[in-house]
Amino acid sequence: MKHYLQFSDLTALDYAYLFERAALIKKKFKAYEKHHPLADRTLAMIFEKASTRTRVSFEAGMYQMGGSVVHLTTGDSQLGRAEPIEDSAKVISRMVDLVMIRTFEQTKIERFAQHSRVPVINGLTNEFHPCQILADIFTYIEHRGSIAGKTVAWVGDGNNMANTWLQASEILGFKVHVSTPGGYEVDQSIAGLRSSDSYRVFQDPMQACAGADLVTTDVWTSMGFEAENEARKVAFADWCVDLDMMHAAKPDALFMHCLPAHRGEEVQAEVIDGAQSVVWEEAENRMHVQKALMEYLLLGRL
Ligand code: CP
Ligand code: NVA
């Protein structure tokens, strides 16, 4: 049994399969063709943080594959009343086939997985957001072909998205140019990289974007860090992806953002709503890649 708790849980070969499979699943969806490999299977979705994309993509995706979902939040389950995570895992995993969790510390999802009888998927933790990077790289491939050998510029917080980009760069063979304000740097030990060869740190976000194939950013304040909001607004003021940064990148560079976005903070409206932005495809692709992932975790390669 495989879990998907971080990007490094799968290999380059697994990803090659998943990207191919997601393309096929997307094609069938667009052609209104039935695809019911998960008939009679149930996915439990546990949300300890808010979500739009993750909920809709997993829920719609599971129904489209013939399965069903159970939606739980901290507020409406015993999870919010201090039932131990281990007990919750033992109970929930006796009744469903697959579990998706969005929570705070990565250790929480790891503890759940240790006591789960069924595969567990990370729908975002403080440390990682693997399903999002799966969608982002699939989107890159759709537009520009293989990401191997390419350069991704990360502008902003050294957060869950940044950590996951670092893991992906080592597995799939591309470079990440990271620029964060002081005090918000990425920490290689969280990503668990073998070496620092796949990424380079830049103080100046313009330099990180120079010659990049993809420029990407995220909110200045992630969920769970709201108390730092005002301090972050000051610290991140120069880390707004603007047209100058996009001009420093390659002429055919793409812009991505996992969303939700704050125009005028981490990105200028002219960039996210401009011709190089692929944010809507990126959001839609969450559903297609996660359908491939759920199928893979339950049925293996088909
Ligand atoms: N990108 C993403 O995970 O969006 P939600 O928070 O809306 O799920
Ligand atoms: N880094 C953001 C991503 C939201 C999808 C957060 O964790 O809130």
| R_g of the chain, CA atoms, integer Å | 19
Do 108 and 147 fall into the same domain?
Answer: no
* Residue 262 a catalytic site member: no
Least distant ligand from the CA of 226: 2
**Boundaries of domain holding 177:** 132-282
Question: Cβ(266)–Cβ(290) under 8 Å?
Answer: no
Sequence-distant (6+) residues with CB within 8 A of 177 are 151, 152, 153, 154, 199, 200, 202, 207, 208, 209, 212
55 is annotated as an active-site residue? no
What CATH number does residue 49 fall under?
3.40.50.1370
Kindly give the number of the ligand 2 atom that is closest to the alpha carbon of 223: 8
3, part of any domain: no
267 and 169 co-located in one domain:
yes
Confidence band for 184, pLDDT divided at 50, 70 and 90: very high
CB of 56 within 6 A of ligand 1: the answer is no
In a domain, 1, yes or no: no
Question: Please, what is the angle between helix 12-30 and helix 160-172, to 10°?
Answer: 110
Ligand 1 neighbourhood includes 215 CB (under 6 angstroms): no
**Tell me, what's the pLDDT at 247?**
98
**pLDDT computed for residue 78 by the predictor:** 94
Ligand 2 centroid to Cα of residue 223, in Å, is 6
At residue 124, the pLDDT reads 99
Q: How far is the CA of 226 from the centre of ligand 1 (A)?
A: 16
**Structure token digits, residue 230:** 């005002």
Exposure pattern of 78-98 as b/e (b: 16+ CB <10 Å)? ebeeeeebeebbeebbeebbb
**pLDDT at res. 135:** 99
- Residue 286 annotated to the active site: yes
Q: Is residue 81 part of a domain?
A: yes
Q: What are phi and psi of 176, to 5 degrees?
A: -120, 125
**Are residues 180 and 122 part of one domain?**
no
Average confidence score pLDDT of the chain: 98
Is 131 annotated in some ligand binding site? Answer: yes
Q: Is residue 2 part of a domain?
A: no
14 labeled binding residue: no
With respect to residue 110, please indicate whether it lies within any of the assigned structural domains.
yes
**Residue 225, amino acid:** F
Ligand 2 pocket, 222 CB below 6 A? yes
Q: Is the CB of 168 under 6 A from ligand 2?
A: no
E strands, 237-293, in order: 254-257
Number of domains the chain contains: 2
Residue 214 lies in a domain: yes
Q: What confidence tens digit (pLDDT) does each residue in 253-279 have?
A: 999 999 999 999 999 999 999 999 999
Residue 188 and residue 102 in one domain: no
For residue range 19-45, what is the model confidence (pLDDT) as tens digits?
Answer: 999 999 999 999 999 999 999 999 999
Task: Give pLDDT, residue 137.
Answer: 99
DSSP string for 44-96? EEEESS--SHHHHHHHHHHHHTT-EEEEEESTTSGGGGT--HHHHHHHHTTT-
Inter-axis angle of helices 160-172 and 130-144, to 10 degrees?
50
Tell me, using a 6 A CB cutoff, whether residue 161 lines ligand 2: yes
pLDDT digits (tens, 9 = 90+) for 87-140: 999 999 999 999 999 999 999 999 999 999 999 999 999 999 999 999 999 999
Tokens of 46: 């546990």
